[in-house]
Structure 1
Amino acid sequence: MEFEKTPENTPERRRAEPEGCLIVALRIPLRIVVFVLVVPVRMAWDALVVAGRFLTDTVLRPLGRALLWVGRAVFVWPLVVLWRYVVVPAAKALAWLGHVLVAVPLGWLHRRVLTPVGHALAWVARRIGAGLEWLYARVLTPVGHGVARLLKGVGLLLAAAGVGVCTAVAWLVRHLLVIPARWLYERILAPVGRALAWLVGAVVTGVGAVLYWTTRILLVLPALALWRWVLVPVGRVLAVVAREIGEALGHAWRVAGRVSLAVGRFLGTLFRWIFVEPVKWAYRTVLTPVGHVVRDVVLRPAAEAARAVGRATRQALAAARETVRQARADVRRMLFGEPRRPEAVARREPTGPRTRSLDSSTTALTKD
């Protein structure tokens, strides 16, 4: 099938095609040299990536959040407070003052002064326009019609005289200039021009042929031979070398990534065995029991004692406040006497055991 064909430029198609001895001889040394050169670069790159991620997660991101909070606290919140509690009230006050001091007086001036003056000026302008219209219709229009008729008669006379003069001038120009110039062009200038054009064309054709063959022999054929027998083979060799170097770089980069991953896992396992596991064992087997003992023997009794002292202190302070309040009340009673008790006010609600309800006869209409 046509759809099942392998593309021409894929690595599978290139491997399926027969390769020359030059490619086979270059491939293995190039891959070894490129692998030796790429492995340190890939390991350094992976180390930089891990360090960058660690630095981003532990330093840069918290620092950025802190700087963002500081910037918000230093710049944004003061500006919000200034806008909300200073600028907006000041703008509202200025708007109210502008309305009271400018808009209201201008509205009154427009309604009471400018509008009547404008109506008066419009009435005067309409009267003046009516007078000008009467002057135009009764005086200027008849005068203009008379002047137009006079100018029309004068124009007809001048046009008749001009037509005669133009006819005479045209006849003289035709017989004195046009006919001699046409004869000169047809009998002398046209044959001479054709002869000069044929001569110039022949000279240009010969010179062009000489220059063409000279350029072809001196430039085109040597350049074509150089391209065909030197540049094309050298370009093909360089293309093969560049392709092999690119494939070697890709293969070495992938293999170096696997090597770097294995080395990273080995270093991580070694770090866990040397540092993390001992620290975890010491925390689980030593620090945790010691912490429990300290918590049960020292911290909890100290906390209970502190809470007991706090409760006793609060009770003593409450008793002292109550004693001071009673002493102040006794002193006020001795100096000013007993305080006046409020008099009882007659309430409209019944004071008996039952309150007003819909069933009770408490109104004049339902009273028995």
Structure 2
Amino acid sequence: MDQEKQPGAHQAPAHYESGDGCLTTLIRIPVRIVVLVIVLPVRMVWDALVATSRAADRMLLRPVGRALAWLGRVLVVIPLVRLYESVLTPLGHGLRWLAAVAGRGVRWLGAAVFVWPWVALWRHVVVPVVRYGVVAPAVRLYASVLTPLGHGLRRVYRTLLTPVGRGVAAVTVWVLTALFVWPVVGVWRYLLVPLAFALDMLVKSLIVAPLAWTYRALLTPLGHGIVWLAGVMASGVVAVARGLGTAVAWLVMTVLVTPVRWFWRRVLAPVGREVAVATGVAWRVAGYLSRAVGRALAWLAWHLVGAPVAWTYRTVCTPVGHFVRDMVWAPARRAAAEAGRAAREALRTARETVRRARRDAWRALVVGGPVPEPREPVAPLARTLGSTTTVPSAAPEPEISLRKQG
């Protein structure tokens, strides 16, 4: 029982590894062989999936993602930006201007319909009528009639009614006191107070004193005895329950917990630990084997496919590509550029000729004669550089417009 009360007395440290017992030595090698046989295909499949996913990401997903991003930018983002800049922005500005103009119009219309008539009515009708029809007569009536009348009534009250009112008030107070206060005070002092005192003494003598004696002499000792008896019985029940609990706990520990703990410490824990260690070792060994198999397959693929393809590309395709680029593609591109430049020049010359012919025909039909080409204005010879004064030794030149000079 003392060992059971100290569960940490015989426990091993956290990183303690027990020595190799017979059971551990017996199951270690077979378990590692079985786990290696089971884990090796899983590790090889895992390494193959990892290599495949990396190759797919490098050679397929990233180029496809870049191509999709470029297509999205070219087909969606750039058209939307151009649409926003060329259509939606001017449209928004126009709508905002229209909304501002409409708001100003609605505000002016609302003010003209709902505000200005009421303001004019208040300012030119209500205020003059109230001021000159009501307020001014009322002020004049108060100042010239009500104020002198109030002063006269106050003087009459002070000189005549004040002494009479004081006498009447004193008589009224004495009569009310004699009728209502003195009878109530007499009833309270000479009838109700003695009656209440007698009732109080009667209740104390007949009810309160017997009840107090009963509580002090009977109920209190009886309650103390009941509490003591209940305490004794509860102590006995607790002692019996504690003994039964101790017996049941000892029985459970002896019959169930101790065998299970021994089986866990001696059988399950070593087997589980060895299986976990064997799984880690087998995973690492399988990784080495899988990596070696992968290197062997990569070496075979390079020497059977990669090296011949590289040699063909380097010794055959590269010279042929350079020959096609230098001898065929570059002259063709230069010739196409020259042809395009000549075509653009011819189109520009033709457009200029057509534009000039159309302008000359329009002038001949509408104006009535050829109009000279615009040129730089010629300053008159009779003026100075500032064109504000004339030269004293030169006659002023006639001021003729450029159109008439042409």
Question: TM-score, length-normalised on structure 1?
Answer: 0.63
User: Could you report, residue by residue, the CA deviation over 1:217-268 in whole angstroms, capped at 9, with x for unpaired residues?
Assistant: 3x22220103553021112132222222222222222333333333333333
In structure 2, how many angstroms separate the alpha carbons of the residues matched to 1:46 and 1:205?
A: 71
Q: Distance in 1 between matches of 2:294 and 2:90?
A: 56
Among 59, 62, 73, the alignment partner of 2:61 is 59
TM-aligned CA distance change 1:216 to 1:159, over 3 Å: farther
Paired amino acid for 2:38: L
Of 283, 301, 315, the residue aligned with 1:285 is: 315
Q: Are residue 195 (structure 1) and residue 225 (structure 2) matched?
A: yes
1:246 aligns with 2:276: yes
Where does residue 220 of structure 1 map in the other structure? 249
Structure 1 residues 238 and 339: CA distance shift in structure 2, 3 A: same
- The offset of 1:76, in angstroms, is 9.6
Aligned partners of 1:264 and 1:197: how far apart in 2?
87
Alignment of 1:1-368 (within 5 A): 8-10=13-15, 14=17, 18-57=19-58, 58-59=60-61, 61-62=65-66, 65=69, 85-86=91-92, 89=96, 157=185, 166-217=196-247, 219-227=248-256, 229-236=258-265, 237-317=267-347, 320-321=350-351, 324=354, 336-339=368-371, 346=380, 350=384
Amino acid at match of 1:18: G
Aligned-partner residue type, residue 183 of structure 1: W
Tell me how far apart the structure 2 counterparts of residues 334 and 244 of structure 1 sit (CA, whole Å).
Answer: 111
Partners of 1:348 and 1:245 lie apart in 2 by 118
Deviates more, 1:282-291 or 1:208-217: 208-217
Q: Give the SS at the match of 1:264.
A: helix
The answer as to whether partners of 2:28 and 2:274 remain within 8 angstroms in 1 is: yes
Structure 1 stretch displaced more, 283-292 or 46-55:
46-55
CA distance in 1 between partners of 2:194 and 2:113 (Å): 78
TM-superposition CA deviations, 1:92-121 (whole Å, max 9, x none): 56765676566999998799969x99xx9x
Letter in 1 for 2:384: P
Superposition deviation, residue 199 in structure 1:
3.5
> Which amino acid counterpart does residue 225 of structure 1 have in structure 2?
T
- 1:162-193 Cα distance to aligned partner (Å, 9 max, x none): 66555444323322222111221233223333
Amino acid at match of 1:270: L
Which ranges of structure 2 fall in alignment gaps of 5 or more residues? 1-11, 136-168, 392-406
TM-score normalised according to structure 2 size: 0.58
Matches of 2:108 and 2:237, distance apart in 1: 95
Query: Aligned partners of 2:202, 2:233: CA distance in 1, in Å?
Result: 45
Identity of aligned residues (%): 35
Query: What value does the CA root-mean-square deviation take over the aligned residues?
Result: 5.0
Describe the shift of the 1:101–1:43 C-alpha distance in structure 2 as closer, same or farther (beyond 3 A).
farther
Letter in 2 for 1:283: Y
Structure 2 counterpart SS, 1:337: coil
Distance 1:19 1:74, change over 3 A: farther
Q: Deviations for 1:345-368, whole angstroms, at most 9, x for unmatched residues?
A: 6489736xxx99xxxxx9xxxxxx
SS of 2:14's partner is coil
Q: Point out which structure has higher relative CO (alpha carbons under 8 A, 6+ apart).
A: 1
Q: Which moved more, 1:180-189 or 1:290-299?
A: 290-299
CA-to-aligned-CA distance 1:136-163 (integer Å, 9 cap, x gap): xxxxxxx9xx9xx98x969x94976766
Task: Please tell me the residue identity of whatever aligns with 2:252.
Answer: A
